[in-house]
Structure 1
Amino acid sequence: MNRKANFFFILYFPLFVNTVKAQQLYFPDTGWLVKNPAEVGMNKIFLDSAVSFAIKNENSVEYDLRIANIKAYAKEPDYKILGPMKQRGGPAGVVIKNGFIVAQWGDVNRVDMTFSVTKSFLSAVTGLAIDNGLIKNVNDPVNDYVKDDTYDGPHNSKVKWQHLLTQTSDWSGCQFGICDWADRPPKEGNIDDWKNRKLLEPGSQFEYNDVRVNLLAYSLLQVWRQALPVVLKNKIMDPIGASTTWRWHGYDNAFVNMDGLMMQSVSGGGHHGGGIFINTMDMARFGLLFLRNGKWKNQQLLSPKWIHEGRQPSAANKSYGYLWWTNSENKWKDVPASTYYAAGFGGNFIIIDDEHDLLVVTRWIDDKKIGEFMALVNKSIEKK
């Protein structure tokens, strides 16, 4: 090989190898290929037992999700449903190995509420803002970008994008008729004492709070200056081939004037109604995008850097990243610690296991049984 040819080989061979690897990865088009578990190194008997387990261990939450919400949040001051809701379906799910369907159950085309799975979609929209330079750094104060009174004051002005993503902001205020202190207040004690509590330094303590997640959605609306469902559709859901049946709802009173147009600030879950309504297979496409490190076929839709950062355990809660849950503390036994997942009320999950090139979506499973279910799925993978 002459010097010129050798230079060409050294310079371009890694690109060629990466291209071949990319071509070998399977991405679904309008349909999704199904393979026998044995073809991808899985034991069908063990996998079938996992599916049977998911079906038998249905979540006990009411089918009428309005009743379910009212029961779940009855102790919250002045709780009310402000956004759309609908009846839920029965257990459903899909197991995808190496990009191929190896098991599925229930009505995977039924559109259902996802509750807090929505938060991980919101995380993706934040990542798009970072990738597109609309937000320079997650460590920037949000007050640098949102110039109304939302982040005024000595405490709220300290809140950074990272704090909203990790649910550690302790932001204080009210938005669209709901105040931060009314969301999951302590079960005991005087509510007035809780309202007037000493605020914690942003970043110091994890507190699951939908008002503050909705605040992130509102702040992103100010940055994007277009409705977040439109951003998600154009930049992620359409490129990955999702159906046209999913919707992202906010509250009935959550419309703001954006450059002369009234736009709805969407919610990050279904705590007061709303959030993302979507079918199982569209959830699977979204999950596969993360399993493929943000790349879909030949398009890099989300940067690998963002996906890597988003799944890292946060300082205040090792089981939580950027609106994604992590298994870093091995709460799910016999499941890789690197596994991360989106989780929503009623047993809705998108689970990503890079170590085994495995993706699982399951709907309406008993939350307390999800770790056991995943251990069964993991057991079906034949170890090399």
Structure 2
Amino acid sequence: MRYPLVCALLLSVNAVAAEHYFPPAGHWQQATPQSLGVNAEKLQQAVDYAIASENPAAKDQAIVQATTFGAREPYDQIIGPMSVRAATNGLIVYRGKVIAQWGDTQSVDMTHSISKTFLTTVTGLALQDGLIRSADDLVWPYAVPDGSLFATEHNRQIRWDHLLRQTSDWQGTLWGKPDWADRPEGEPKNWPNRPLHAPGSKYKYNDVRVNLLALVTTYVWRKPLPVVLNERIMQPIGASAGWRWYGYDNSWIELDGQKIQSVSGGGHWGGGMFINAWDLARFGYLFLRDGQWQGQQLVSREFIKQARTGIAAKADYGYANWFLNPGRKALPAAPETAVTFQGAGRNIIYIDQQNDVLLVARWIGNGDELNQLVAKVLAALPAQ
């Protein structure tokens, strides 16, 4: 009785592949706005707005770190690579075709916390392959050789879902960074003795805990996560060879007799994903098409369903780094179903299945600029 179901799933995947265009490696078909019914004048207004909305912060990301996180956090030393970014750049894809681009889209720059989306995708592949039996499993049995990570009763209650959603409240120090040193709250004298919250009950954006997810996912795969990402995602979607995913100077481990660098899930202290706009667009396009690429279901639909579902602790955040739009509060101009992958700087992948739009915008302002840009892009599209 399983064969009809398998056949139905294959037919569904193949139908999506036949319906949509998938760019081959090294090329992405472009289309004039007019050929797709897009208002060229309004589209140009959107591009002009993106260019005019460049983030005024320094291009040297080490300077930005020193004047933001470094100005208010202890343990702020940079321990991974940083970059000097390009000017604002990006591209707009509508119905699978590139209809606009601006700036140096080939520039390989830090993408900061979009690194988290790459990380949770690789964790999702471990779930997909059965290396992790369930997102509801406790994490500590998967990290037994490094028992210090989950030695306390509090930490032993943490499940994979908690790490994926940034609700673990893991307590400890990793790569020389205490959990409390990232975005600390309250009086400095109280930072090291912060109150603990039951895992799953409180959301807290925290790069130390994201880096913990990277480490334990590396234990599960038993090989470097960039290798997994390259083999399972980046090569199949035709990404370039220019991207790099870094860890820290001190985040090397020994696994099966080999030295492996545990990667970073962001650029807070350096490291993370360095990538160009075109490769970001391919990654976003994979999720615009529900994890399917040219007849292959690269990322399971069940994982994507969970990734784009918020919880009571944080309704507008799914798995890291899936930013959701319930009630259209985060992005009033966008549909409620729209999703963004976001990183500091500001780096954006905007995924809008309702309008069949993919937008990559890099180094735009941190205020309402994204919402305004989305509004201008959608205003250029033909009426539905």
Equivalences, count:
372
8 Å CA contact retained: 2:13, 2:297 = no
Asked if residue 54 in structure 1 is aligned to residue 50 in structure 2, the reply is: yes
Aligned runs of 1:322-361 on 2, under 5 Å? 322-323=319-320, 324-330=322-328, 331-361=330-360
Q: Distance in 1 between matches of 2:366 and 2:171?
A: 30
Shift of 1:37: 1.8
**Residue 254 of structure 1, aligned match among 239, 245, 251:** 251
Counterpart AA for 2:173: C
1:154 corresponds in structure 2 to 153
Shift of 1:22: 2.2
1:272 corresponds in structure 2 to 269
Shift of 1:40: 2.5
Aligned runs of 1:1-384 on 2, under 5 Å? 19-29=14-24, 30-73=26-69, 74-147=71-144, 148=146, 149-186=148-185, 188-189=186-187, 191-323=188-320, 324-330=322-328, 331-368=330-367, 369-384=369-384
Provide closer, same or farther for how the CA distance between residues 209 and 309 of structure 1 changes in structure 2, counting only shifts above 3 A.
same
List gaps (5 residues or longer) in structure 1. Answer: 1-10
Q: Distance in 2 between matches of 1:261 and 1:315?
A: 41
Q: Distance in 2 between matches of 1:85 and 1:292?
A: 32
Greater mean deviation of Cα atoms: 11-20 or 207-216: 11-20
Provide closer, same or farther for how the CA distance between residues 15 and 132 of structure 1 changes in structure 2, counting only shifts above 3 A.
closer
Larger radius of gyration: 1
8 Å CA contact retained: 1:319, 1:329 = no
8 Å CA contact retained: 2:181, 2:191 = no
Q: Distance in 2 between matches of 1:183 and 1:329?
A: 29
Shift of 1:17: 7.7
Shift of 1:42: 2.1
Greater mean deviation of Cα atoms: 64-73 or 192-201: 192-201
CA offset digits 1:121-164 (Å, max 9, x no partner): 11110110111101111111101211122112110001111111
C-alpha RMSD over aligned residues: 1.6
Q: Distance in 2 between matches of 1:106 and 1:51?
A: 10
| 1:150 counterpart SS class | helix
Shift of 1:31: 0.5
Shift of 1:13: 9.5
Q: Distance in 1 between matches of 2:66 and 2:265?
A: 18
8 Å CA contact retained: 2:14, 2:295 = no
Q: Distance in 1 between matches of 2:47 and 2:175?
A: 41
2:3 corresponds in structure 1 to none
Q: Percent identity over the alignment?
A: 45
8 Å CA contact retained: 1:319, 1:328 = yes
List gaps (5 residues or longer) in structure 2. Answer: 1-5
| 2:382 counterpart SS class | coil
Counterpart AA for 2:40: K
Shift of 1:193: 1.4
Provide closer, same or farther for how the CA distance between residues 160 and 21 of structure 1 changes in structure 2, counting only shifts above 3 A.
closer
Q: Structure 1 length normalisation: TM-score?
A: 0.94
8 Å CA contact retained: 1:254, 1:264 = yes
Counterpart AA for 2:32: N
8 Å CA contact retained: 1:318, 1:329 = no
| 1:145 counterpart SS class | helix
8 Å CA contact retained: 1:64, 1:88 = yes
| 2:150 counterpart SS class | coil
| 1:378 counterpart SS class | helix
Q: Distance in 1 between matches of 2:319 and 2:135?
A: 10
1:4 corresponds in structure 2 to none
CA offset digits 1:250-292 (Å, max 9, x no partner): 0000000111111000000000000000000000000011111
8 Å CA contact retained: 1:143, 1:151 = yes
8 Å CA contact retained: 1:112, 1:277 = yes
Q: Distance in 1 between matches of 2:61 and 2:8?
A: 55
Counterpart AA for 2:19: Q
8 Å CA contact retained: 1:332, 1:375 = no
CA offset digits 1:183-234 (Å, max 9, x no partner): 1112x41x23121122001111111100000000001001000000000001
